[in-house]
Amino acid sequence: MKKTKKLIISGEKDRVWDATFQLMSWWDAESVRKSSVMVVGAGALGNEVLKNLALMNIGHILTVDFDTVEYANLSRSVLFRESDSDARRNKCEVAAERIRQLNPNVRVMALHGDIMIDIGLGVFRRMDAIIGCLDNRLARLMINRQAFRIGKSWIDGAIENLSGQMVVYKPGTSCYECQLSDSEWANIRERMGCPDVARRNYAAGKIPTTPISASIIGALQVQEALKLIHHNDKQSTAGEIFRLDGMHNLFMHYDVQALKKECDSHFQIAEVIELPELRHTSTVQEALDILCRHFDDEGLWINLDHEFVIEVTGEDTGHKIYPMKAKPHLSDDILDLQRIDPLEELFITKSVSVLDRSFPYPELTLKAIGIPPLHIVSVETKGDIHFAELHGDKDFMKFT
């Protein structure tokens, strides 16, 4: 029998993942190891970004996506396999598993959810870089507003055919919302009105993408993320749009449009109050008790980011449905289960947009109302507005 050669494992000193990167004068291994980066979207672009982040030894990587792997994704996704599409596995979970295999030094967390409602603002707050790998404007707008609210830049990428673009949006310098044209706004409004997650996020028409443009644009996004991690403001490309025309090998850059005076994205929270007793599993009653005690005001209320729908009525039959869900969570599937006429129009006839002592269901949890873990809620007291983090959820972020 042939003897197999014993594998000689080199000493720990030789097993430093980023030894080569450390040869770059600007590389700060400690900052990179400690950093946290969120990647929203695990499609073609997200795959490339996640792969690069893992190879670059980013300490904590959060992957967010609500979708499952399909066979059509395989030609553009280095992290997915045919078995993943057969099993319809969640994209974010597969991606997390594969990048852990790529570089066992990185800690990864997968969040299966919709950026519109499922990711708390406190999650954004804990990130050193936020990267958007999305195919629709509504989700981009959401990231822009959330990131700016806590004073963070974010890095947007978009691909189509052999082309693509990359933009760093930075509060006070460049803003995604300020760039939107009237027709783009019309498209966003249409999606905002659509409660179904899948339909809301479905890109209008099929946009052809390639792994080639994804790898170029994704690489640029990670390069910009490294600048953010290193606080390298000087070399940041914030304020410019980088556009790649892959067919003609053109690489162009333009200045972004000037900031508008009136823009909802420009609001920034001055102070976040961390309340350790408050968590997404607190009931409305408990949350109000904690807040009223803290602010010494029995009349305060919590402003909801999304309308909480209590009652929906059929236009013709007058049949009433009680979904008890935040509007973005109100899918057709939920309504179809209870409606008696599948064709009639349904109208929201009872909903609330604030939680106060008069809320009729104080036993419901904040989670049930549509407030995600580690969120920062807006609390209104007599003439003042405060921002309180569900700090009891601080251990929610688990990178493994």
Nearer CB in complex with Zn ion: 65/177? 177
Q: What is the nearest approach in angstroms of Zn ion to the Cβ of residue 253?
A: 20
Length, in residues, of the chain: 400
The three-state DSSP-derived secondary structure of 160-194 is EECEEEEEEECCCCCCHHHHCCHHHHHHHHHHHCC
* Contact with Zn ion (CB under 5 A) among 175, 220, 225, 290: 175
Closest of 56, 111, 154 to residue 398, by C-alpha: 111
Nearer CB in complex with Zn ion: 247/258? 258
Distance in angstroms (rounded) separating the CA atoms of residues 357 and 150:
29
Options 4-12, 156-164, 172-180, 190-198: segment touching Zn ion (CB under 5 A): 172-180
Q: What is the nearest approach in angstroms of Zn ion to the Cβ of residue 261?
A: 9
Options 177-185, 196-204, 349-357, 368-376: segment touching Zn ion (CB under 5 A): 177-185
Q: What is the nearest approach in angstroms of Zn ion to the Cβ of residue 239?
A: 13
Number of residues forming the site for Zn ion (CB under 5 A): 5
* Contact with Zn ion (CB under 5 A) among 111, 178, 180, 379: 178
Beta bridge partners of 275: 390
Residue 282 interacting with Zn ion (CB under 5 A):
no
Q: Which amino acid appears at position 365 of this protein?
A: T
Residue 265 interacting with Zn ion (CB under 5 A):
yes
Distance in angstroms (rounded) separating the CA atoms of residues 232 and 98:
30
* Contact with Zn ion (CB under 5 A) among 48, 114, 128, 177: 177
Site for Zn ion in 62-121 (CB under 5 A): none
Task: Report the SS3 class of residue 326.
Answer: strand
Nearer CB in complex with Zn ion: 91/145? 145
Options 67-75, 152-160, 259-267, 349-357: segment touching Zn ion (CB under 5 A): 259-267
Ramachandran angles phi, psi of 345, nearest 5°? -70, 145
Site for Zn ion in 285-344 (CB under 5 A): none
Strand 163-169 to 272-275 pairing: unpaired
In sequence order, what are the residues at sequence separation of 6 or more whose Cβ sits closer than 8 angstroms to the Cβ of residue 41?
Answer: 64, 65, 132, 133, 134, 135, 139
Nearer CB in complex with Zn ion: 178/321? 178
Residue 153 interacting with Zn ion (CB under 5 A):
no
Q: What is the nearest approach in angstroms of Zn ion to the Cβ of residue 400?
A: 37
Closest of 81, 46, 45 to residue 213, by C-alpha: 45
Q: Tell me which residues touch Zn ion (CB under 5 A).
A: 175, 177-178, 263, 265
